[in-house]
Structures are given as structure tokens and as C-alpha cells.
Amino acid sequence: GAGVSQSPRYKVAKRGQDVALRCDPISGHVSLFWYQQALGQGPEFLTYFQNEAQLDKSGLPSDRFFAERPEGSVSTLKIQRTQQEDSAVYLCASSSPKGRGRGTDTQYFGPGTRLTVL
């Protein structure tokens, strides 16, 4: 079926606004990752879910960043009181067909959401 999808593809926010970014992983994938990619840089890990459990959020840069995956499928990354340094592409990746959930599986990335904070 379809790959990982993300919405919106582009988001412009004024400094101080809250934003919500959505990720639809590949159906049945247990693991879901969020990464932040600054212009001209490699992706940087933000957080990781296995089903609905957030197992690692050590990469979230501040308490303004919050992620959830309440039913173990769709995930939302929320950024409160956006700052200019939050401008980046936010990538979502999923892996591990149902029943596996190992760390060795290929991560499939979505196209990302480009966030610009003015």
C-alpha cells in the first residue's frame, strides 16, 4: 500500500503560534520515529514510539515539543510557542511490521513537513 504520509507538507507560523504536524505511518508498522532536519543538515532524532508507548523522547529540544500516538497508528508532533529556530523539515519514519518491533528493521520516511517560523 501507501508509504508514510505527512500533513501539512508546508506550514508557515508566526513566532509564538502553536503548530501540529501529522504523520500517518505505513499500515501495521509498530515503530514510529520523528526527526528534525535543519537546512543543509542530516536528520536529528526527536522521539520514538512503539505502538502507543513513547519509549524515547530524549531528542526533543525543549518542553515546547510534544508528541503523541494515542491509538498506536497516527502520530502528532505539537510545537508550542514556536520560535524561529524551530524552522526545519520534520520527518516521520515508521518501521517493523506488526509482531516484530525490532530495532534492526528498515525505517521508511515520509516526505516531511517544512515548517517556517516568521
Partner 1 sequence: QQQVKQSPQSLIVQKGGISIINCAYENTAFDYFPWYQQFPGKGPALLIAIRPDVSEKKEGRFTISFNKSAKQFSLHIMDSQPGDSATYFCAARRSRGSTLGRLYFGRGTQLTVWP
6 or 82: CB nearest partner 1? 6
Respond yes or no on whether the N-terminal peptide bond of residue 8 is cis (omega within 30° of 0).
Answer: yes
Size of the site for partner 1 (CB under 8 A): 29
Distance (Å, rounded) from C-alpha 48 to C-alpha 28? Answer: 16
Q: Does 93 interact with partner 1 (rule: CB under 8 A)?
A: yes
Q: Does 1 interact with partner 1 (rule: CB under 8 A)?
A: no
C-alpha grid cell, residue 59: 531528542
**In the complex, least distance from residue 55 CB atom to partner 1, rounded to whole angstroms:** 8
Site string for partner 1, 7-46 (x = CB under 8 A): ------------------------x-x-x----xxxxxx-
Residues with Cβ within 8 Å of residue 61, at least 6 apart in sequence: 36, 46
